[in-house]
Structures are given as structure tokens and as C-alpha cells.
Structure 1
């Protein structure tokens, strides 16, 4: 079987998000496990993220690239054109894209798309202006072109059905995995990382970009309440300042008068991120909307007790391994933060539960299930066509 992947997301200039982590780790596993598929990677002739570049190697793998011109729109169309030609000439039996934006303009056949959530579609509807409305309609139309959709939670599956109008028999749920690099370190290494990051007192960690769904304003205001009793506590916020409205976050911090107790970090390597998880005391992720929420899984794997929202996909992902809160209740969030920071017994409970829960997720398992989908919809077993999917089967509508 000849399988193509659009790896545009892995360019070094692209901010590392959950989508990027998903694409890199899934490809790494697929290329390592692959024994009988011919794989073509399509991208730009530019450096890839250093952490991911070495992943994209393996037997029966080739790379097809275009040289960038400096025009984003033109480069996008040229790359999509290269892929479309190979599809039209029968050089690919299947194309897998990691974002719906990479579906156009392509033939509407033999395409599998990963759709993590519908937040970008919903948030665009809330923005004013004809361009945003047109962009939303365009991206919804692209998502509907996929023959098969893979998503990362049952919550996202229901949202995709509701907001994108894609029938359930075309949507498969495959939870994200986690790298074995995310693990609890011994006390000596943890202490070294605390010294390196200059942590004093209780450290509350939050990781995520600065888009409104991350609920940063309520988190900061809840921290203000916590800091009234825990005088040495600090809040560490890690995120790419190019995503969302970092200036608004700074304004909220200044408004609370806590600038000296809130630290911002950006673009850490994976080893440093693991060290940061281990150096903190608790992890707080009060998001309003998540398709999956990789940071909560990373924190749990590192033995960090987690507080997260009882909304969207998060209860599905954490099970009973995290303290669940109403993300709109600042006082309730502050109470849970104080409670977890001051109770060693509660910390141990959620540390132990989190480590056990995280063992249920692996990128190898994700790759096995995705490869199973490829085989299910291969040219030999049933072409990837809309007609072939009009009769749903039990496997098609199940969680894989």
C-alpha cells in the first residue's frame, strides 16, 4: 500500500502544539513499525523541528518537497498541488493529513484526516468580519471532504458530528499517546531542577497557549486567592507567546498585582519540560474546551498531582486520576488549589492515580490502531470512497 503524509506541521517555524506533538510521535511509531507500506512524506524544503527531524526515517520512506517562495498562500497551493497530482496519477492509495486545512484543494477520495477538536471552527464563528465567517465555512467544507476522520476523544467525536455534520460511521476515536520520556524523576534530579528554575515555596504549574479556552484569567484570579494564605506560592505559566493573546494575560497578571509571583516560560525542550513537571508541586489545567488535553497526561506521567476541568474531554482522559473542578468558579478553583497544595495525603493519592492512568496511553498503541485503519480501508479491502461508507459496520462506529 502506498501511503502519503503531509508533514507541513513539523516545520521548525511552526509553533509546537498538541497537533504537532501528535503528528510527530505518530509518524515516528508508524515509520518504526512499518514493514510492508511504501510511505511518502510531503513537505517544504526547510528545516524541521530538531526534536522531530530524526524521527522521520525508516525503510520504504521517501521525502517529496517543494522550495518555499516566501508567499504562504502560493507555497500552500504548490504543496497541495504536488500531492493532488500524485493522488490523481494513482501513486497513493491513501493520504493522511494531520489538520483539515491540508485537505484543500485535493480530490475527495482516499483521504484520512485527523481532527483534534472543533475549537478553531467555533472560535472563528465568534469573531467578527466576513473573512472569519468565510474561513469557517471553508474549513468546515474541507473537513467534510475526508473519507475517514480520526479524532482523539469521544467528546471530540460528538462535537465533530454536531458542528461539522460528519456522520458517526466515518469518525474513529483513537486516544493520544504519551512519550516514555515523561516520567517521575528521583528526588535528587527533582531538587536540581527546582534550583535550576529558581523555585521557592509552592509551585503551581500551567502549560498551554494563550487562547481564551485555556481560561487563563480565572486561573490567575484563583491564584490571587491562593496567594493570600500561601505567601511563598508562585504560578509558572508555560506557552508559546505567538499563540493567542499573551498581552491580555500580562494585563490580567498586572491587574491582580502578582507580577512578581507569576513566571512565564516558552519553548522548552522535552527533557526540560519533563524536569519542569517534576520540579513543580501541582499542575492546574482549568480549560474550558479541550479535544484531549495532552499536558494533563504528561503531568500525570511525571507524578505531578493534577487539577483540571470537569468539562469537554478532560474527565474522559483523566478518569479518577485528577481533581475535577468547575472551570468557571474562581473560588472553587482556588479552594481546590489550596487543598491540594497543603495536603500531602491528597497529593500522594493523585500522584499514584495519575501515574497508573498514564500507563494506559502510548504512541505505539496509537500507531497500531491507525495502521489497522489503513488496512481496513486499503484498496484491497475496500476503497476509501463515500459510497463504500454508506453502509456502516460495527467497527466503523466504535472507539479504537
Structure 2
């Protein structure tokens, strides 16, 4: 019997926005991988309006802009309308939520169920709080009728199976990949040793989300400055000056302000250079379903000091310095250890490069395509 061509809609609502975040990049890279892998099926990529047209149509990939900036209207009204008018066979929603009452099979990428868990801290904005409420309402309803759930780590798979036992036969772990753009800018030739002191600063991708552990990290950095003979500066990205000033004052840490460099937003295409220039990457998050930035840093030959929690050990293996994210002395000790032990530093550069090579978007795309092919119409 001849193979049936399927029409697959991939929801990628936010990939055209300028300030993209984790799930947006994952969706974008998966689509790019599928464009290279699948020339048979028909794809419609549903996106929201935005200024960064970062994806191009191809022979069997059509980009459809649904003109609404309201997330609820876009997802619950415009996306179902597109499904009907395009005679779609499968809908793949890439960012945790999906339309209710679908008449076609749904593949849902559920990156995490943090929104179903006890809230960490209280620094969320009104927008974040509304998003959390929306996800808590929509996701359990969607999961009653989902065909396949894709999640990004076995750690998160276990969490989802515990919260939604009926999904045990419908959930698959598909790891994220690392873009080939993330690589060392100065690759040593044979016989050369890897550079020890790559740069004058630690890199921290700051974020007001409490799970990113900014408070403890700043206190740990102050503890580090008291004991370090090098006293490297801290480049803090994705945070505004006013918020940092307020937080330092609240923590009684204004004395370390001169050691911190703030970049409110670093474009994703500039991150390669920033990772390369950094001495090391700090990633002391409390809760991660995957942890893509630590792999990006590794792929650039930059060692990582990170947490021993959630999915991080699954992704990082034994190729990083682990710390207890709730213990500021532990975080500082990890920083000092990496700074004071050149042999450890060089070994983590080499091991991190090797580890990052195990994760590719091509693999992610192949696994995603296999899931589409498993949907029998």
C-alpha cells in the first residue's frame, strides 16, 4: 500500500518575535531539521505576527501568519480555524498548550509541568501569573485527548507520568539538540593545549523567574569575591539595571555592584561570542526540564558550574562542576574550585565539547518525524 501524504500543522506562535526564549528556539530548530529531513509530507507552520522572519517557506513547508497578538484568541480560535480550512491530518503544538476540542490527532510537546507544581518564590509578573493560570486550566483538559506527548528529559517524563498516570503509554522523551552555530571560535590545533583563562568574567543568564535562583547566585558571587584571588567580574544577561539595583539593595549586596556588568538582552546569534569569551558559565537553577544553555556553553568550549537537581545531571553527565543550588557556599565553592584548578578546567573544556556532540537537532527532528509517522489516520 502506498504511503499516505499527511498534512501536518506545527504551532510555532512566537518564533517571529524579536526576543525569543527557550521554547521558541526549540520549535524553530525542530522545524528547520524537519525541512531538511522530510520532503514528502505537507507542512503548515502556524506563527504569530512578528518582526523576525527567521524561517523561510520551502517546497512542502508553508508559513501561515495568524494575525493576532492575543494568545487565547490565536490558540483557541484562529488555530482551529486553520485546521479546518487546510484539511490537516495532525496538529503538533510545541509549547505546552493546545486548542480544546480538536477533531484531529494532537502531538503536544510538554516541556515541563512546573505550572502544576507548588510555585517557587513570588517574583512572577502579572503576565506570568496569567500564563500559569491558563496552563493549569488548559493542559489537563488537552491531555485527556492527546495522541502523543513529547517531553524533553526522562526526569520530566517521570514527573508527567506521576501527575497524569493515563499518559504512561502516550509519552516519549525526545532530547533537545544544540545548534552547530555553537562552537569554539578558536579551535586548538593538534598539539596545542586548550586555553585555561578564556576570559575575565563569569556568565550568568539572569532571569526574574525564581527557579533560576538569582538571589542565591548573587549571594554566592559575593561569597566568591571575598575568597577569590582573581575576582572575575560577573556578566549578567537578560535582566534590567533597575531590577538588579533593587535586588542588591534588598540583599545588602550593593558593595558588589561594581563587579557586575548588566546586558538587558543578548540576541541569540550573539550568544556564541559571549559564551566563547566567558571564563565559565554559571547555571545554578533550582528546576530545569532540560537545560539547553549549559549544552550551548559546553559546545563553545566553556566549562559550566551548575546544579545537582532536576534534569541537569541527566543532560550534563559528569562534565560539569555540580553544586547545591540552595547553598550559597556550595555555589561559591564550585566557582573557586574551577578557578583554582587548571587541570580540572581543561578537562571540563574537553569533556564538555564531547558531551555536547551527543545532542543534535537532526536527531530531534528524526524522532519527531517518527512520531508523526506513527499516527495512523
Q: TM-score category by the smaller chain?
A: 0.7 to 0.9
2:15 equivalent in structure 1: 10
Distance in 2 (alpha carbons) for counterparts of 1:33 and 1:240: 37
Distance of aligned partners of 1:250 and 1:213 in 2 relative to their CA distance in 1, 3 Å threshold: farther
Structure 2 residue aligned with 1:99: 95
Aligned to 1:355: 353
Residue in 1 that maps onto 2:84: 85
Which aligned pairs between 1:1-400 and structure 2 lie closer than 5 A?
Answer: 1-12=6-17, 15-44=19-48, 46-50=49-53, 53=54, 55-68=55-68, 71-86=70-85, 91-101=87-97, 103-107=98-102, 109-122=104-117, 136-186=136-186, 202-230=200-228, 232-239=231-238, 249-254=244-249, 255-257=252-254, 258-379=256-377
**In 1: Cα distance, 2:187 partner to 2:74 partner:** 49
Find the aligned partners of 2:212 and 2:282 in 1 and give their Cα distance: 11
> Structure 1 pair 11/305, CA: closer, same or farther in 2 (3 Å)?
same
Cα–Cα, structure 1 residues 48 and 8, in superposed 2: closer, same or farther, change >3 Å?
farther
1:100 aligned counterpart, secondary structure: coil
Unaligned runs of 5+ in 2: 1-5, 189-196
The structural deviation recorded for 1:11 is 2.9
Aligned mates of 1:121, 1:263 — CA distance in 2: 35
- Structure-2 change in CA distance of 1:34 and 1:352 (3 Å): same
Quote how far apart the aligned CAs of 1:276 are. Answer: 0.6
From the superposition, tell whether residues 335 and 133 of structure 1 become closer, same or farther in structure 2 (CA, over 3 Å): same
Distance change >3 Å, CA 96–CA 325, structure 1 → 2? same
Deviates more, 1:273-282 or 1:157-166: 157-166
Partner-residue secondary structure (3-state), 1:21: helix
Partner of 2:194: none
- SS state of the match for residue 102, structure 2? coil
State the distance in 2 between where 1:367 and 1:133 align: 31
1:134-175 deviation line (CA, Å, top 9, x unaligned):
752333323444211001100110111123445221110011
Q: Secondary structure at the match of 2:236?
A: strand
- How many corresponding residue pairs? 355
Alpha-carbon deviation of 1:310? 0.8
Q: Deviations over 1:103-126 (max 9, x none)?
A: 123416411010111123325698
- Structure 1 gap segments, 5+ residues each: 189-198, 380-400
In the superposition, relative to structure 1, how do residues 34 and 266 fare at CA in structure 2: closer, same or farther (>3 Å)?
farther
Contact kept in structure 2, 1:281 and 1:304, CA below 8 Å: yes
Distance 1:11 1:164, change over 3 A: farther
In 1, the alpha carbon distance for the partners of 2:143 and 2:234 equals 38
Equivalent residues of 2:152, 2:173 under 8 A apart? yes
Deviations 1:280-303 (A, max 9, x none): 111111111001011100010011
The two structures, once aligned, show a CA RMSD in angstroms of 2.8
- Give the TM-score taking structure 1 as reference length: 0.81
Whether the aligned pair in 2 keeps the contact of 1:100 and 1:142 (CA below 8 Å) is no
Compute the TM-score of the two structures, normalised by the length of structure 2: 0.85
Take 1:22 and 1:201, find their aligned partners in 2: how far apart are those partners? 28
Provide the C-alpha distance between the structure 1 equivalents of 2:246 and 2:183, rounded to a whole number of angstroms. 34
2:51 and 2:20 map into 1 onto residues whose CA distance is: 11
